Amino acid sequence: MSYKQTKIWTVDNSSLLEDKAPEIEEAALWIKNGEVVAFPTETVYGLGANALDEKAIQSIFTAKGRPSDNPLIVHIAKESQLDDLVEEIPATAQSLMEVFWPGPLSIIFKRKEGIAPSVTAGLSTVAIRMPDHPVALRLLEEAGVPVAAPSANLSGKPSPTTAAHVFHDLNRKIAGIVDGGPTGVGLESTVIDCSEGTPILYRPGGITKEQIEEIIGPIDVDPALASAGEAPKSPGMKYTHYSPAGILYLVDNRENISNYVHEAKKAGSRVGVLTTEENADAYDADVVIACGKRNDLATVAMSLYKSLRSFDEEKVEVIFAETFAKEGLGIAIMNRLEKAAESKRL
């Protein structure tokens, strides 16, 4: 579907304290009536449509160019909405909800009938979360329906953390964008399967494995995330994701990056380096982007997708990226970088 113009609603968070929020009310009505609308969450911008409306959900896949076997996460404003969506709420899921909802944690449940088939990609389960963002929650409340929402970007590209990113990717492809300012966490939600037996972590995100295990004890981690030919149970488990236009290499020993930069520049490429504030002065690349602070990985997560998009804006052809220890939030950061680089390492 093509639109002559994608409408933008600019929302001042302070206005949400008032009884009326006309911009959000209009955007919510559009969602309820089958349109696709992007909106901010605490993780990234989501591309929302009525999760009970198959035609509306198909519009998400069309706008993004997203593979149809890649399931979507359903967003809700109230726990009571689960009654119409899931068969049961396991004790592990209930414990996690009490601590991390609203927040960047998506939980996989056994689903009930009624959810649009494309939301679950034909699976018997559905991933659901309650976002921790005032605009998102108000929008979901006003819509009065569960809203399926993947990241609001073209499939395979870095996820959007501002309304401008969404507009760049999806202008004229979607009905509207609710501009609630930049997001906070910067990485998509953690996804955990509580539908049967020991919970399984399928996608790392803003809530770490360690934080989860503090609440419910040991969990399993799917080491492969997805195997070729299998339908993924969670978004982010299959296909290339988060990739900039330039070729991205991960470099474990950052002392070697300067040599790689020199060789790439000698070959005539426009070269970039993804680093942190601590090392930003160490490289002689055409474009050096400091993505947060190494001693505060939350700042790296927050800036990661914006940084990858910045290389595109600078028309960088080859990017060398520092890596991070796979512990705590570093697991989620490296998950996104490895997918963005298609596991290319030097």
Does the annotation flag 254 for ligand binding? no
pLDDT of residue 234: 57
Does the annotation flag 120 for ligand binding? no
pTM: 0.92
- Amino acid letter, 240: T
Q: Is residue 36 part of a domain?
A: yes
Q: Is residue 237 part of a domain?
A: no
Q: Are strands 190-193 and 200-203 parallel, antiparallel or unpaired?
A: antiparallel
Does the annotation flag 92 for ligand binding? no
Q: Is residue 242 part of a domain?
A: no
Question: Do residues 189 and 46 share a domain?
Answer: yes
Q: Which residues pair with 1 in a beta bridge?
A: none
pLDDT tens for each residue of 122-138: 999 999 999 999 999 99
pLDDT of residue 305: 96
Residue 49 · residue 152 · CB < 8 Å: no
Which of 184, 204, 221 is the endpoint of a domain?
221
Does the annotation flag 345 for ligand binding? no
- Whether pLDDT at 189 is above 50: yes
pLDDT tens for each residue of 153-178: 999 899 999 999 999 999 999 999 99
Q: Structural domain of residue 177, as residue ranges? A: 7-221
Q: Is residue 1 part of a domain?
A: no
Which of 203, 221, 239 is the endpoint of a domain?
221
Does the annotation flag 294 for ligand binding? no
Mean pLDDT of the 307-331 span: 96
99-113, 208-222, 228-242, 315-329: the lowest-pLDDT one: 228-242
Q: How confident is the model at residue 235 (pLDDT cuts 50, 70, 90)?
A: low
Question: Do residues 199 and 254 share a domain?
Answer: no
Instruction: Find the Cα–Cα–Cα–Cα dihedral 331, 336, 341, 343, rounded to 10°.
Output: 40
pLDDT tens for each residue of 239-298: 557 889 999 999 999 999 999 999 999 999 999 999 999 999 999 999 999 999 999 999
pLDDT of residue 228: 37
- CATH number of residue 91's parent domain: 3.90.870.10
- Whether pLDDT at 227 is above 50: no
Q: Is residue 193 part of a domain?
A: yes
pLDDT of residue 15: 67
pLDDT of residue 123: 94
Question: Do residues 267 and 217 share a domain?
Answer: no
Does the annotation flag 129 for ligand binding? yes
Q: Is residue 233 part of a domain?
A: no
Measured from the Cβ of residue 228, the count of other Cβ atoms closer than 10 Å reads: 6
- Whether pLDDT at 237 is above 60: no
Mean pLDDT of the 300-319 span: 97
Question: Do residues 285 and 166 share a domain?
Answer: no
Please give the share of the chain, as a percent, with pLDDT higher than 90.
86
Number of domains in the chain: 2
- CATH number of residue 292's parent domain: 3.40.50.11030
Question: Do residues 101 and 180 share a domain?
Answer: yes
pLDDT of residue 327: 93
Residue 32 · residue 97 · CB < 8 Å: no
Which of 221, 239, 260 is the endpoint of a domain?
221
Does the annotation flag 340 for ligand binding? no
- Whether pLDDT at 233 is above 70: no
Distances in whole angstroms, Cα of residue 151 to Cα of each of 47, 159, 179, 233, 329: 6, 6, 14, 16, 20
Does the annotation flag 161 for ligand binding? no
Residue 86 · residue 110 · CB < 8 Å: yes
Average pLDDT, the chain: 92
Does the annotation flag 106 for ligand binding? no
- Cβ-based neighbours of 83, under 8 Å, separated by 6 or more: none
Question: Do residues 131 and 215 share a domain?
Answer: yes
Does the annotation flag 111 for ligand binding? no
Q: Based on the number of CB atoms within 10 Å of its own CB, is 267 exposed (0-12), middle (13-18) or buried (19 or more)?
A: exposed
Q: Is residue 37 part of a domain?
A: yes
Question: Do residues 99 and 164 share a domain?
Answer: yes
Question: Do residues 212 and 303 share a domain?
Answer: no
- Whether pLDDT at 92 is above 80: yes
pLDDT of residue 225: 52
Counted residue by residue, the chain has a size of 346
Question: Do residues 159 and 271 share a domain?
Answer: no
Does the annotation flag 43 for ligand binding? yes
Which is more confidently placed, 318 or 224? Answer: 318
Question: Do residues 289 and 196 share a domain?
Answer: no
Question: Do residues 286 and 166 share a domain?
Answer: no
pLDDT of residue 229: 39
For the chain, what is the HEC assignment? CCCCCCEEEECCHHHHHCCCCHHHHHHHHHHHCCCCEEEECCCCEEEEEECCCHHHHHHHHHHHCCCCCCCCEEECCCHHHHHHCECCCCHHHHHHHHHHCCCCEEEEEEECCCCCHHHHCCCCEEEEECCCCHHHHHHHHHHCCCEECCECCCCCCCCCCCHHHHHHHHCCCCCEEEECCCCCCCCCCEEEECCCCCCEEEECCCCCHHHHHHHHCCCEECCCCCCCCCCCCCCCCCCCCCCCCCEEEEECCHHHHHHHHHHHHHCCCCEEEEECHHHHHHCCCCEEEECCECCEHHHHHHHHHHHHHHHHHCCCCEEEEECCCCCCHHHHHHHHHHHHCCCCEC
pLDDT of residue 231: 46
Q: Is residue 20 part of a domain?
A: yes
Does the annotation flag 149 for ligand binding? yes
Question: Do residues 24 and 173 share a domain?
Answer: yes
Mean pLDDT of the 25-37 span: 97
